[in-house]
Amino acid sequence: MDEKILQLKKWIDDSDNVVFFGGAGVSTESGIPDFRSVDGLYNQKWKYPPETILSHSFFVRYPEEYYRFHREKLVIDGVKPNAAHLKLAELEKIGKLRAVVTQNIDGLHQAAGSKNVLELHGSILRSYCSVCGKPYPADKMNHGEGVPHCTCGGVIRPDIVLYEEPLDEKVVTEAVRVISEAEVLIIGGTSLNVYPAAGLINYYRGNKLALVNLSRTPYDDEADLVINEKIGRVFSQL
């Protein structure tokens, strides 16, 4: 086993206060593409960049176009949790992991068995009316046709944080608390470029900060341990 992975394993073995902070890289290994990736085919299908379509103002003005993108790009059927999701759920079950703080909206951590999951950007597995707030099963939104409407006439929307919208205050407050109290903070599958979410790791006060990411991040120099590997490969050895 790699020396760095051994070191991370020791930190986890010796602690009962581990927190995991993760991003898109955790889900890409389950076959979920990063919605921000734009290839040559993208421009033949869509007139606007993903960040524009996934904004509050675009959703309000062009809900039909939003839902076309949502169903094609955000809803990926048949995906299953990978080694990282499963290991994190196991660590929580045996009393080592306190919480998962995720930027992902796919619900794979819960599918793997994790209970304390703080979803900074919400989840596509929930939806509600944008007018009256009534909750709806996500199936109509994710697999229906056209724009779904509430009985009150309002447009049903996904329970995700769109661009131009603030993060949920309760979720952020709890994320700050668990990160600031953590003994070991593992950051995985994120470039740490998406704010304000990435800024949360500045609340960590410990000396066991591990970064597991394929590429460099702006926080590499501040980390106590940096592992440039696929997250599934690392977690399958812990």
Between 154 and 193, name the one with better pLDDT.
Answer: 154
70-79: b (≥16 Cβ within 10 Å) or e: beebbeeeee
Q: Is 56 a catalytic residue?
A: no
pLDDT tens, 120-137? 999 999 999 999 999 999
The pLDDT of residue 37 is above 80? no
The pLDDT of residue 36 is above 70? no
Mean pLDDT, the chain, integer: 93
Which of 150, 141, 139 has its CA nearest to residue 70? 141
CATH of residue 135: 3.30.1600.10
Residues 15 and 68 in one domain: no
User: Catalytic residue among 85, 121, 143, 149, which?
Assistant: 121
- Amino acid symbol at 158: P
pLDDT tens, 60-83? 999 999 999 999 989 988 899 999
Kindly tell me the burial class for residue 104, based on how many C-beta atoms sit within 10 Å of its own C-beta (0-12, 13-18, 19 or more).
buried
Q: What's the pLDDT band for 115 if we cut at 50, 70, 90?
A: very high
Residues 114 and 214 in one domain: yes
Last residue in a domain, options 141, 160, 179: 160
